[in-house]
Structure 1
Amino acid sequence: MDLPESLQWLVPHEAARRAGGVRRELVDRAPVSPLLDLASNDYLGLHHDPRVVEAAVAALRTWGAGSTGSRLVTGTTAAHTALEAALAEFVGSEAALVFSSGYTANLGVVTALSGPGSLVVSDAGSHASLVDACRLSRARVVVTDGVEAVRAALAGRTEPRALVLCDSVSSVDGTLAPLRELHDVCRAHGAVLVADEAHGLGVRGRGGRGLVEEVGLAGEPDVVLTLTLSKSLGSQGGAVLGAAPVVAHLVDSARSFIFDTALAPAAVGAAHAALDVLRAEPELATAVLDRAARIASAAGVPVPTSAVVSVVLGDPHVALAAARRCAELGLRVGCFRPPSVPEGTSRLRLTARADLTDTELDLVAAVLAEVL
């Protein structure tokens, strides 16, 4: 199709992305792929678990295909509130609120708890959803790197309210945030810590309860958790967890909750069933870290502290070629290039699953030995 003059600017932009090795393309995948998948975030291997699938089907038959409206109009069901109660109990929070995605959960909590006349201090490695939340917050935003930088930002503030944002576990390299130290700084300066547990739930903490629980901050009133249901719980959706007054405020003020259609019942049912599996089988969290250590050994990188194994290759063309070669040899891996990572740090991102077998791990080792 010939582009009109108003859209001709797209042509050089696409050419520049191709030349830089950062052009993205959508690729269909089959329901059952011949490739061993080390690219997904299905850390516990539950998205195809029969218990999880059957729970989704049961919710679909009970409540229908969609939620029919926002949570405040027609969208809330008994299944939504039951999932919220189960999530709060599991991670040790007083209350929870389910959103349609982890992205909207982060948008909702940051914008509702900040606003004009407040300060938001965000870690430089925060997920894009937290970055976008900062942009929408209308607050003064300071991007920091490290606990001392957070301390300095809070010590110099004039605003009456402040939030400190971080990923508890980095989505890119799997490193752990210094949550205990960050909380000490927040409490000393009257700030609220918002920790995104998207990659911590199911992997870190007692029985997969997350890094916040692991470091002893579960239930602290000045700590707010966000998480996604699309990774360890194998479904879709997100949630914010914290003190009951915080959750009540979100119901009144979080635009990505108020004006968004509620999470579909099938996703709610699947997430609840997956949480039940994790509660009944806490060894899954240990298993995924064990598999991650074996993948890291095969890749020749340090033992990870999460399910994420990051192999930095530098040039985006090199990383993309390596990912394609892995696929040719039967292994699907993630390929992270700018802007997902800083310039010069393009990488393969491999994710462990609790259900990987010894035979599958042998394949991983053989493929990585040839490609790397």
Structure 2
Amino acid sequence: MRDFATELEARKAEGLYRVRRQVSGPQQPRLTADGERRLSFCSNDYLGLANHPATRDALVSALSETGLGGAASHLICGHHDAHHHLEERLAAFTRRESALLFSTGYMANLGVISALAGRGDTVFSDRLNHASIIDGCLLSRATVQTYPHGDVATLAAKLSATPGHKLVVTDGVFSMDGDVAPLKELARVCRRYDALLMVDDAHGLGVLGPQGRGSVLAEGLSTDDVPLLVGTLGKAVGTSGAFVAGSALMMDYLVQKARTYIYTTAMPPALARATAASLDVIEQGDERRIHLRALTTRFREGAQALGYTLMPSNTPIQPILVGGNEAALALSQALEAKGLLVTAIRPPTVPVGEARLRVTLSAAHTEADVDTLLAALASVAPPSPSTLSTLSMPIRSVS
């Protein structure tokens, strides 16, 4: 039998052990974590909608009509008219013919990839894709080829040398680096080599593009360019769940083939109503996006002036590159001692030697909040190994 306790101790020794925080109250920049009030810069609530009155009111109002549980899968008796209306809203929001709801983004990627590719096919995946994409590729039983991050030339060479059915999968915005995929170039090579392109825009929807419609529409790309678009509802949308959008034909195919859609209970119908209300706020939320971009610029300029190494990102995901696991954990702990939550991200989530602090900004943050974070970073000093070794404090892992 495996010695699980020894494995856990080894993770602690390598700076890879993870613990959970217990949050009380709603998700918002100033929250209570483990009984202490903190200013949080680690949530994916990019537009500040996780505690928005419009979505809360829509949820409460819907409960008396829809009840709470979905009670069955969509293909049994769980497909409520609230789900159908939300799918129509999501299709219209992403400028596509049809959409299909999934319980989580992870399940959407598992279900879609494994439905669209199988034995004898080839899936091409960006090296920095999210774990759900990686696992979906493995689950498909297709041949999987990775290409260097954002390297369209290498992908084109691989596509040209590969016969048969080909699926290319990429994040729209990469969750740990914050950069945007070269979507126009990817669409071009996929058309040239007859490959199907799927984009997971979990971190772009609500933030990028006209009225927050995402990274694909920010590049002016259509369903013909990107046949499959996956998005989550638990980030900028502020609720929970996920969807895939595309042509009516492709959505019908997924209804028949995507196992994580067929064999899962539908989301609570009231939650679908709340999500539709959130989409209304997003469409009318240009001021939120303008404010969020201004906060991003303020943080980047301030952090770089302090000597911190940032990743090349213009999105609300602003990683501070540190390097070593222990150094990243020590910097995170130093900020926590000053009342701020900024998560340390370590392998295998990011490559070995590229541990970082993942700063995420929200439209619910103020300029004063960003200045508080910058002041704390200034007091700790830039994360060079020699500097961080002087942070003599117990290290407690947070991610």
TM-score tier, shorter chain, comes to over 0.9
Q: Which residue of the partner structure matches residue 349 of structure 1?
A: 358
1:107 aligns with 2:110: yes
Q: Which residue of the partner structure matches residue 12 of structure 2?
A: 18
1:223 aligns with 2:232: no
Give me the whole-angstrom Cα distance separating, in 1, the residues matched to 2:311 and 2:176.
Answer: 15
Give me the whole-angstrom Cα distance separating, in 2, the residues matched to 1:59 and 1:306.
Answer: 34
Taking the TM superposition and a 5 Å limit, the aligned residue runs for 1:206-221 are 206-220=210-224
Shift of 1:358: 2.2
Alignment check: 8 A CA contact 2:295 2:367 kept: no
Alignment check: 8 A CA contact 1:56 1:265 kept: no
Alignment check: 8 A CA contact 1:144 1:150 kept: yes
Cα shift readout 1:245-302 (whole Å, capped 9, x = no counterpart)? 0000000000000001111224322221111101122232232222122222232236
Alignment check: 8 A CA contact 1:228 1:239 kept: yes
SS in 2 for 1:134: helix
1:147 aligns with 2:156: no
Q: Which residue of the partner structure matches residue 81 of structure 1?
A: 84
1:30 aligns with 2:30: no
1:158 aligns with 2:163: yes
Cα shift readout 1:300-324 (whole Å, capped 9, x = no counterpart)? 2367321100001111111111112
Give me the whole-angstrom Cα distance separating, in 2, the residues matched to 1:296 and 1:60.
Answer: 43
1:55 aligns with 2:58: yes
Alignment check: 8 A CA contact 2:49 2:278 kept: yes
Alignment check: 8 A CA contact 2:191 2:225 kept: no
1:264 aligns with 2:276: no
Q: Which residue of the partner structure matches residue 171 of structure 2?
A: 167
The runs of 5 or more residues in structure 2 that have no matched partner are 26-30, 305-309, 383-399
Shift of 1:53: 1.0
**AA of the residue aligned to 1:108:** G
Q: Which residue of the partner structure matches residue 319 of structure 2?
A: 310
SS in 2 for 1:39: coil
Give me the whole-angstrom Cα distance separating, in 1, the residues matched to 2:91 and 2:379.
Answer: 45
Cα shift readout 1:141-176 (whole Å, capped 9, x = no counterpart)? 1011110121112111122x1110000111001011
Q: Structure 1 264/64 Cα, relative in aligned 2: closer, same or farther at 3 Å?
A: same
Alignment check: 8 A CA contact 1:39 1:334 kept: yes
Q: Which residue of the partner structure matches residue 241 of structure 1?
A: 245
Give me the whole-angstrom Cα distance separating, in 1, the residues matched to 2:289 and 2:141.
Answer: 38
Cα shift readout 1:111-150 (whole Å, capped 9, x = no counterpart)? 1111112110000011000000000001111011110121
TM-score (normalised: structure 1): 0.95
Q: Which residue of the partner structure matches residue 137 of structure 2?
A: 134
Shift of 1:218: 2.7
Q: Which residue of the partner structure matches residue 98 of structure 1?
A: 101
Q: Which residue of the partner structure matches residue 3 of structure 1?
A: none
Cα shift readout 1:48-87 (whole Å, capped 9, x = no counterpart)? 1111111122233322221001111121111111111111
SS in 1 for 2:342: strand
Runs of 4+ residues deviating >3 angstroms: none
Alignment check: 8 A CA contact 1:289 1:352 kept: no
1:336 aligns with 2:341: no
Q: Structure 1 302/316 Cα, relative in aligned 2: closer, same or farther at 3 Å?
A: closer
Q: Which residue of the partner structure matches residue 365 of structure 1?
A: 374
**AA of the residue aligned to 1:12:** T
Give me the whole-angstrom Cα distance separating, in 1, the residues matched to 2:16 and 2:311.
Answer: 27
Match among 63, 67, 70 for residue 67 of structure 1: 70
Give me the whole-angstrom Cα distance separating, in 1, the residues matched to 2:281 and 2:163.
Answer: 47
TM-score (normalised: structure 2): 0.89
Shift of 1:193: 0.7
**AA of the residue aligned to 1:307:** P
Q: Which residue of the partner structure matches residue 121 of structure 1?
A: 124
Which deviates more, 217-226 or 146-155? 217-226
The runs of 5 or more residues in structure 1 that have no matched partner are 1-5
Match among 205, 208, 213 for residue 209 of structure 2: 205
**AA of the residue aligned to 1:191:** A
Give me the whole-angstrom Cα distance separating, in 1, the residues matched to 2:302 and 2:38.
Answer: 18
Identical aligned residues as a percent: 39
Cα shift readout 1:323-351 (whole Å, capped 9, x = no counterpart)? 12212212111211011101011100011
**AA of the residue aligned to 1:328:** A
Match among 248, 253, 256 for residue 252 of structure 1: 256
SS in 1 for 2:24: coil
SS in 2 for 1:35: strand
